[in-house]
Amino acid sequence: MTGPVPHKKVEFWDDERKLGNSLIVTLVRGWKFNEDVMAVEHVLGFDTKAEALNAVRASVQCDCKDCAISAKDDAPTLSI
Ligand SMILES: [Zn+2]
Protein backbone atom coordinates (compact mmCIF):
# COMPACT_ATOMS: atom_id res chain seq x y z
CA MET A 1 0.00 0.00 0.00
CA THR A 2 1.41 3.37 -0.98
CA GLY A 3 0.49 6.19 1.34
CA PRO A 4 0.92 9.92 1.02
CA VAL A 5 4.53 11.02 0.79
CA PRO A 6 5.43 12.82 4.03
CA HIS A 7 8.69 14.40 2.94
CA LYS A 8 10.09 15.95 -0.22
CA LYS A 9 13.05 13.57 -0.18
CA VAL A 10 10.73 10.54 -0.30
CA GLU A 11 9.86 8.96 -3.64
CA PHE A 12 7.76 6.06 -2.34
CA TRP A 13 6.31 5.45 1.10
CA ASP A 14 5.02 1.89 1.31
CA ASP A 15 3.43 1.04 4.61
CA GLU A 16 3.30 -2.75 4.55
CA ARG A 17 3.17 -3.20 8.31
CA LYS A 18 -0.38 -4.54 8.10
CA LEU A 19 0.99 -7.29 5.87
CA GLY A 20 3.63 -8.17 8.45
CA ASN A 21 6.35 -6.35 6.54
CA SER A 22 8.05 -3.05 7.19
CA LEU A 23 7.37 0.52 6.41
CA ILE A 24 9.44 0.71 3.25
CA VAL A 25 10.83 4.08 2.27
CA THR A 26 12.41 4.86 -1.09
CA LEU A 27 14.32 8.11 -1.34
CA VAL A 28 14.18 10.44 -4.31
CA ARG A 29 17.15 10.00 -6.66
CA GLY A 30 20.16 11.94 -5.48
CA TRP A 31 19.61 11.09 -1.80
CA LYS A 32 20.69 8.14 0.30
CA PHE A 33 20.19 6.96 3.85
CA ASN A 34 23.09 7.77 6.12
CA GLU A 35 22.65 4.64 8.23
CA ASP A 36 25.61 2.72 6.92
CA VAL A 37 28.65 4.56 5.60
CA MET A 38 29.92 1.42 3.90
CA ALA A 39 26.84 0.87 1.75
CA VAL A 40 24.61 3.00 -0.43
CA GLU A 41 21.02 2.59 0.72
CA HIS A 42 18.25 4.27 -1.25
CA VAL A 43 15.55 2.01 0.16
CA LEU A 44 15.12 0.96 3.78
CA GLY A 45 12.48 -0.72 5.90
CA PHE A 46 11.38 0.67 9.27
CA ASP A 47 9.16 -0.39 12.16
CA THR A 48 7.69 3.02 12.90
CA LYS A 49 6.88 6.18 11.01
CA ALA A 50 8.94 8.27 13.45
CA GLU A 51 11.96 6.07 12.86
CA ALA A 52 11.51 6.36 9.10
CA LEU A 53 11.14 10.14 9.19
CA ASN A 54 14.23 10.51 11.35
CA ALA A 55 16.23 8.50 8.83
CA VAL A 56 14.82 10.52 5.94
CA ARG A 57 15.78 13.79 7.65
CA ALA A 58 19.28 12.39 8.27
CA SER A 59 19.68 11.33 4.65
CA VAL A 60 22.52 12.82 2.68
CA GLN A 61 23.12 13.67 -0.94
CA CYS A 62 24.17 10.69 -3.02
CA ASP A 63 26.50 10.68 -5.97
CA CYS A 64 26.50 6.96 -6.67
CA LYS A 65 26.46 5.76 -10.27
CA ASP A 66 22.68 5.37 -10.40
CA CYS A 67 22.02 8.83 -9.00
CA ALA A 68 24.66 10.40 -11.22
CA ILE A 69 23.13 8.80 -14.32
CA SER A 70 19.68 9.97 -13.29
CA ALA A 71 20.92 13.49 -12.69
CA LYS A 72 22.39 13.56 -16.16
CA ASP A 73 19.29 12.28 -17.92
CA ASP A 74 19.24 15.40 -20.04
CA ALA A 75 22.83 15.02 -21.13
CA PRO A 76 23.26 13.76 -24.71
CA THR A 77 26.23 11.52 -23.94
CA LEU A 78 26.18 8.67 -21.47
CA SER A 79 29.10 6.32 -21.01
CA ILE A 80 28.37 3.07 -19.24
ZN1 LIG B 1 22.58 7.02 -5.15
- pLDDT 10s digits, 6-29: 789 999 999 999 999 999 999 999
pTM for the complete prediction? 0.77
The pLDDT value given to residue 13: 94
CA of 50 to the centre of ligand 1 (A): 23
Flag residues of the chain having pLDDT under 50: 78
CA of 18 to the centre of ligand 1 (A): 29
49 contacts: CB under 8 Å, gap ≥ 6: 6, 15, 23
- SS in 3 state form for the chain? CECCCCCCCEEEEEECHHHCCCEEEEECCCEEECCCCCCCECEEEECCHHHHHHHHHCCEECCCHHHHHHHCCCCCCCCC
The pLDDT value given to residue 72: 58
CA angle 56, 59, 7 (to 5 degrees): 35
The pLDDT value given to residue 3: 61
CA of 17 to the centre of ligand 1 (A): 26
The pLDDT value given to residue 2: 60
The pLDDT value given to residue 48: 96
